[in-house]
Amino acid sequence: MRVLMFGWEFPPHITGGLGTACFGLTKGLLKQGVEVIFVVPKAYGDEDQKAVRLVSASDISVDITDTEYKEYWNRITYMQIGSNLIPYVGPEEFKNIVDKNQLEDTIKNDSVLSSKFEFSGQYGKDLIDEVKRYALVASAVAAKMDFDVIHAHDWLTYPAGIAAKSVSGKPLVMHMHATEFDRSGENINQNVYDIERKGMEEADTVVAVSNLTKKIVTTRYGIDENKVVTVHNAVEPSDGFDTDVDRHVREKIVTFLGRITFQKGPDYFVEAAKMVLDKDPNVRFVMAGTGDMMNKIIKRIAELHIATKFHFTGFLKGGDVDKMFALSDVFVMPSVSEPFGIVPLEAMRSNVPVVISKQSGVSEILIHALKVDFWDVHGMADAIYGLLHYDGLSKMFRRYGKDEVNSLKWENAAVKVKEVYQRLTGDNI
């Protein structure tokens, strides 16, 4: 079986859990005998292609004289989004990025309909133009390649998935990793919501990363629940990273790793930290990540007079994430709305006990994790304090947590995804 898969990012060029999940799933599918052609806006040449055939949309030519492509272009007029939109980034962080000139320019021609497009592959100011061009290229890819099913990850690639289905007539799977309600709460971007809804309506099957996400998809987008399948994410096995690192500090270390934005609940982490420090001042707190709430969080930490106990590392990936976990005594994920949450699995894989919010998809499958409501800062503080000060408790969660997470394999998730493919194609081999 061959799958044409669309994703906006692929390791090592990632900004969060989406690229990590795509990588893990493709490796799992390979073990199930599924061949994946993975199309990204821009390939850099250093991606791991053992499990996939990676196709760079920047290398695909489109014949702009072909009536079929022009007709498709006329059908994607519903994609009208402000040019300053960057997914997962709020207005304050966007302004900071612009002020620092950190946005990459997309190479443009006189018309959006050029013969070949050079994608930046970034979440930049020309994002929506890239999404449109990517969808157009998807129709060219679908017309030229042989495959059995189409699989598109998250809203940026939904138009590409629709385009590929329009050209090929092959069944379409839309993978919902995070909804607009997860990213923005009730203050949603209506245009993004419309793209998500349109994509799921056009899909033959929608894969949700948790039952929490499935509920949002059915209740907030009106998608038939019989069309939605839950497939929980997993985690890559440990690569044997050396955990013997020099801490340089005597205090215990509690870590938050994720975007510093509304969805991730960093403000609740700060309030819980204050309560822990009131009981035990010999603790340090680390916030690893960036986001639009950074200035607000720094201001609140200053108001609470705990600035000397907080450290900001910026965005971490790869080996730096492993090193941070090696330094950590407790990991906390206080998310307000988390479709799944791979990071706690990575922490547990590194022998770090975790505290997670009940409002996360990963809480549906984890047993050896302390779970609290994101708003219950007293409960969160008690959980952190308990793991820091009661050795029997922390040892139990370290031991059984690692065993539990080692059983959550991507190949198991891939089995469920392959079953979806087989139902859609009638291939039961």
Q: What is the pLDDT of residues 365-417, one digit of tens each?
A: 999 999 999 999 999 999 999 999 999 999 999 999 999 998 899 999 999 99
Ranges 65-79, 127-141, 356-370: which has the least confidence: 65-79
Domain membership of residue 124 as a residue range: 2-234+410-425
Dihedral angle over CA of 255, 257, 259, 263, nearest 10: -70
Q: Region 135-140: what's the mean pLDDT?
A: 86
Instruction: Please check whether residues 165 and 210 belong to one and the same domain.
Output: yes
**pLDDT for the residue 14:** 73
Instruction: Please check whether residues 120 and 173 belong to one and the same domain.
Output: yes
Q: Any idea what DSSP says for residue 6?
A: E
Q: Does residue 337 sit within a domain? A: yes
Confidence of residue 318 (pLDDT cuts 50, 70, 90): confident
Instruction: Please check whether residues 122 and 203 belong to one and the same domain.
Output: yes
Q: Does residue 181 sit within a domain? A: yes
Q: Does residue 348 sit within a domain? A: yes
Instruction: Please check whether residues 226 and 257 belong to one and the same domain.
Output: no
Instruction: Please check whether residues 265 and 387 belong to one and the same domain.
Output: yes
Q: What is the pLDDT of residues 5-48, one digit of tens each?
A: 998 888 777 777 788 899 899 999 999 999 999 988 877 777 77
Instruction: Please check whether residues 65 and 183 belong to one and the same domain.
Output: yes
Taking alpha carbons only, the member of 101, 258, 242, 234 closest to residue 182 is: 258
In the block, tokens 């996360």 appear at 360
Instruction: Please check whether residues 198 and 257 belong to one and the same domain.
Output: no
How many domains are there within the chain? 2
| SS percent in the chain: helix, strand, coil, step 5 | 45, 15, 40
Please give the Cα distance from 146 to 217 (Å, whole number): 31
Model confidence at 236: pLDDT above 90 = no
**pLDDT for the residue 125:** 55
Mapping DSSP onto H, E and C, the string for 284-330 reads EEEEECCCCCHHHHHHHHHHCCCHHHEEECCCCCCHHHHHHHHHCCE
Confidence of residue 62 (pLDDT cuts 50, 70, 90): low
Helix (H, G, I), strand (E, B) or coil at 237: coil
Instruction: Please check whether residues 125 and 256 belong to one and the same domain.
Output: no
Q: Does residue 333 sit within a domain? A: yes
Confidence of residue 120 (pLDDT cuts 50, 70, 90): low
Q: Does residue 246 sit within a domain? A: no
Instruction: Please check whether residues 121 and 262 belong to one and the same domain.
Output: no
- CATH number for 157: 3.40.50.2000
Q: Does residue 48 sit within a domain? A: yes
Please give the Cα distance from 419 to 336 (Å, whole number): 32
Instruction: Please check whether residues 209 and 284 belong to one and the same domain.
Output: no
Confidence of residue 109 (pLDDT cuts 50, 70, 90): very low
Q: Does residue 61 sit within a domain? A: yes
**pLDDT for the residue 191:** 83
Q: Does residue 265 sit within a domain? A: yes
Query: What would the two tokens of residue 86 be?
Result: 């960057």
> How does 189-213 read in b/e, with b if 16+ C-beta sit within 10 Å?
eebbbbbbbbbbebbbbbbbbbebb
The residues with which 331 forms a beta bridge, in sequence order, are 255, 354
Instruction: Please check whether residues 212 and 283 belong to one and the same domain.
Output: no
Taking alpha carbons only, the member of 202, 196, 198, 230 closest to residue 214 is: 230
Instruction: Please check whether residues 210 and 264 belong to one and the same domain.
Output: no
